[in-house]
């Protein structure tokens, strides 16, 4: 922040005529969007060559605010659209913005198979533990005992660990960060964007209006602060002197491998066939 270089101005990357955006006051998705655009800025990605594909829900609406090639697709299917786009156009940087419901419930199968294929894509899953736009229904990541409009007596289903799922399914890069740490989130997204295979980044975001309010989680600011107290950065994750926080949310890069990238493998196979 003390650099002489001009600091990143998020407004340069927004479709300003669309602002202010439609998200509720205090919604964490705005911070996540800033981190994504910041990472894109620092990697100097040409916006003409940037395609952002999003699904349905609050997270799905974010693509419309990005000054790039943007696609607001069907519920749960942004990864399917993005897979087609990335295969047909390997010259594009394809980024998927999806939510916990979009990615893990409606599009759960698209996620695991995208992880399995390891096509070069960056998938940003904004996890606010709720279907916010439709009025606060329980989602696959809603914590147990939480109140939602469809769990009036508290959620009794165990919730998903999306990063564990993506890791098990073979994703090339898996990471998690909270919106509270925008610069760290930016760094994580940058690492994901630079990964040569499928990168899955879970962003722990806040839904203050629909989820926080119903669960007495305090004001927007209190929810943002709570993120810090409940997370576990990678630096401390395996530390022996942090024995009492073992249940906290691990953040940082959680898994990384060098499995072959699907698009390149597919093109190489096609070239080999053509040469015969």
Partner 1 sequence: MNEQSNVVALNATSEPTAFNAALAEPTNVLIVGVGGQGVILVSKVLASLAQAHGYEVKQSEVHGMAKRGGTVFSHVRFGPRVWSPTIAKGEADVLIALEWAEGLRWLPHLKRDTGVFICDTKRIVPPFACRSRRPGAPMRYATETAEQVAAYVSEAYAIDATKMAEELGNERAANVVLLGALSTVLEFALPEWEKTVTAFVPKKTIAVNSAAFELGRNWIAEAKNEPPSADAAPAAAPVHAPYQPRLEITDAWCKSCEICVKLCPERCLTLNADRIATLVAPEKCTGCRLCEWLCPDFAIRVHLDPEAPAMEAAQ
Partner 2 sequence: MPTRPSQADIYQTRYGSHGDYPMIVLAPASAREIYDETIRAFDLAELCRTPVILLYDQVIAQSSETVALGGRTSVHATRKWASGPREAYKPYAADADLIPPMPRPGDGYRTHTTGLTHSETGFPSQDPETVTRNLGRLYAKLDKHRDLIDSFEAVRCEDAEVVIVAIGISARAARRAVDACRAEGKKVGLFRPVTLWPFPEVALREATRNAKAILVPELNIGQLRLEIERQLRDRRVEGLHLISGEPITPAQIAAAATKLASEV
Residues that bind partner 2 (CB under 8 A): 15, 18, 47-49, 51, 63-64, 67-74, 85, 89, 91-92
Stretch that binds partner 1, among 3-11, 94-102, 112-120, 141-149 (CB under 8 A): 3-11
Q: Is residue 221 part of the contact set for partner 1 (CB under 8 A)?
A: yes
Q: Is residue 222 part of the contact set for partner 1 (CB under 8 A)?
A: yes
Residue whose tokens read 């602002």: 19
Q: How far is the CB of 22 from partner 2 (least distance, A)?
A: 9
Q: How far is the CB of 184 from partner 1 (least distance, A)?
A: 11
The site map against partner 1 for 138-177 (x = CB under 8 A) is: ----------------------------------------
By CB under 8 A, name the one of 150, 183, 239, 268 that touches partner 1: 183
Cα 35 to Cα 175: distance, rounded to the nearest angstrom: 14
Dihedral pair phi/psi, residue 221, rounded to 5°: -65, -40
Residue 220 binding partner per list partner 1, partner 2, none, with a CB distance cut-off of 5 to 8 Å that depends on partner kind: partner 1
Q: What is the largest CA-CA distance in the chain?
A: 66
CA 6 from centroid of its chain's CA atoms: 27
- Beta strand 50-54 with 93-99 is parallel
Residue 31 binding partner per list partner 1, partner 2, none, with a CB distance cut-off of 5 to 8 Å that depends on partner kind: partner 1
Angle (deg, nearest 10), helices 29-42 and 182-194: 50
Tell which residue, 169, 167, 187, has the closest CA to residue 177: 187
Residues 189 to 208 in contact with partner 1, rule: CB under 8 A:
208
CA 254 from centroid of its chain's CA atoms: 14
Q: How far is the CB of 221 from partner 1 (least distance, A)?
A: 3
Please say which residue, 182 or 217, places its beta carbon nearer to partner 1.
Answer: 182
Cα 51 to Cα 133: distance, rounded to the nearest angstrom: 24
DSSP lists the bridge partners of residue 267 as none
Could you tell me the two tokens for 134?
A: 């439709």
Three-class SS of residue 207?
coil
By CB under 8 A, name the one of 219, 239, 257, 258 that touches partner 1: 219
Q: Is residue 95 part of the contact set for partner 1 (CB under 8 A)?
A: no
Q: Is 269 exposed, middle or buried (0-12, 13-18, 19+ CB in 10 A)?
A: exposed
Please say which residue, 182 or 255, places its beta carbon nearer to partner 1.
Answer: 182
Q: Is residue 229 part of the contact set for partner 1 (CB under 8 A)?
A: no
Residues that bind partner 1 (CB under 8 A): 1-2, 4, 7, 9-11, 14, 19-21, 23-31, 34, 180, 182-183, 208, 219-222, 224-225
């Amino acid at each position: 922040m003390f650099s002489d270089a001009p600091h990143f101005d998020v407004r340069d990357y927004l479709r300003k005529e669309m602002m202010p955006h439609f998200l509720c006051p205090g919604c964490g998705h705005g911070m996540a969007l800033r981190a994504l655009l910041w990472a894109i800025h620092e990697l100097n990605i040409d916006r003409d060559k940037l395609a952002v594909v999003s699904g349905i829900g609050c997270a799905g609406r974010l693509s419309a605010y990005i000054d790039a090639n943007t696609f607001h697709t069907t519920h749960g299917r942004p990864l399917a659209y993005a897979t087609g786009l990335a295969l047909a156009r390997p010259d594009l940087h394809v980024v998927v913005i999806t939510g916990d419901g979009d990615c893990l419930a409606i599009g759960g199968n698209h996620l695991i198979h995208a992880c399995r294929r390891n096509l070069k894509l960056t998938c940003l899953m904004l996890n606010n533990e709720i279907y916010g736009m439709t009025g606060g229904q329980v989602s696959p990541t809603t914590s147990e005992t939480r109140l939602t409009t469809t769990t009036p007596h508290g959620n009794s289903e165990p919730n998903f660990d999306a990063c564990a799922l993506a890791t098990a399914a073979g994703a090339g890069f898996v990471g998690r960060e909270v919106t509270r740490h925008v610069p760290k989130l930016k760094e994580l997204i940058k690492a994901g964007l630079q990964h040569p295979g499928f990168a899955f980044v879970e962003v722990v975001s806040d839904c203050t209006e629909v989820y926080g309010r119903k669960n007495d989680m305090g004001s927007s600011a209190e929810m943002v602060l709570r993120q810090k107290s409940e997370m576990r950065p990678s630096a401390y994750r395996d530390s022996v002197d942090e024995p009492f926080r073992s249940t906290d949310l691990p953040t940082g890069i959680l898994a990384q491998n060098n499995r072959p990238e699907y698009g390149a493998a597919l093109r190489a196979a096609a070239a080999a066939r053509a040469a015969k």
